[in-house]
Copies of this chain bind each other. A is one copy, B any other.
């Protein structure tokens, strides 16, 4: 929605110039030339933000700010004042009266816009809580309604049994089916030049595997292998395509899966690139918990070989092991044989570099 900005400034040149910049940035601007008019316009229009000069005839900026603060319906409106570049004291006085930011004149368009934008964002955030609740409930609705469709889709293929460590498909081959995990675990991975393996995806019962190349109509870009004895439903490509074409809701589901996948990968990129091993390991533990123990069962243990876990984190197996024992010493996790139990979820989650 277009935001309303009230601009109070006595100098006509400056006023028009600013109004123009703000209009170009797609704000709805109400420009007035003195404090009194400012207050009345504010009450009438309920702007989302007020820009106000300090030095003005009739009612100066401090006066305007004071009145705004006193009025319950205006007092949470972000208030930015305008001042001559050098006047440090003016600035301090304004801030101490409760302004949210200031712009110095002669001003720079970018400065103006970023200051305005930031204060609007801050104000928005404070208004938000109710909205976010709506959104989450909304989202979960969409998921549950889509779920039936997915199950239906899963019903129309034939079941295949795979033993532990069996290859489901190879990188470079062309997809002829979509897979649905009925039971078990599957990983997808790529190898780099010198053969080191990096796990790009982990799948459990209820997940679809191998849809990306189907949607984009290319070959597999990674290899898929079972992590334990697994049952997969194989849905013929043709069938999948027919369903997808006839069924916008199903399409929507898969599009969301793709998009979410991108988000996850980006997050992971950031982490792999810059975070300490300690944090990466902690993040991975959290990810594994969320994936395999969403219902938060306190007895849950992560069951994944060190090798595979290292290939998820993107570090050497030995380094991972060392980090795990460090975390054990700090009582953040427990190690039972090769299984891992998360003891302090929060500490892991808030770990930093």
Contacts and interface: CB of A to CB of B under 8 A. Distances in A.
Given A39-B352, A193-B279, A263 B130 contact: no
Q: Give the size range of A's interface with the partner.
A: 35 or more
A101 interface: yes
Interface in A1-52: 1, 24-26, 36, 39-40, 43
Interface stretch (A165-173, A285-293, A322-330): A165-173
Contacts of A273: 192, 198, 272, 314-315
Interface in A199-226: 200, 212-213, 215-218, 221-222
Nearest to A271: B192
A156 interface: no
B126 A135 contact: no
Contacts of A270: 190-192, 198, 200
Given A136-B1, A262-B261, A110 B352 contact: no
Interface of A: 1, 24-26, 36, 39-40, 43, 75-76, 92, 95-98, 100-101, 109-111, 113-115, 117-118, 121-122, 125-127, 129-131, 133, 135-137, 139, 160-161, 163, 165-167, 170, 173, 190-194, 196, 198, 200, 212-213, 215-218, 221-222, 245, 248, 251, 255-256, 258-263, 265-275, 279, 314-315, 350, 352-353
16 contacts: A1-B136, A1-B139, A43-B350, A96-B111, A96-B118, A109-B163, A114-B166, A192-B271, A198-B269, A198-B270, A215-B255, A218-B263, A221-B266, A251-B251, A258-B259, A262-B265
Given A127-B133, A218-B259, A255-B258, 19 more contacts: A1-B136, A39-B352, A40-B352, A76-B125, A114-B166, A126-B126, A129-B130, A129-B133, A192-B270, A192-B271, A193-B352, A194-B353, A198-B270, A200-B269, A200-B270, A213-B259, A222-B266, A265-B269, A268-B269
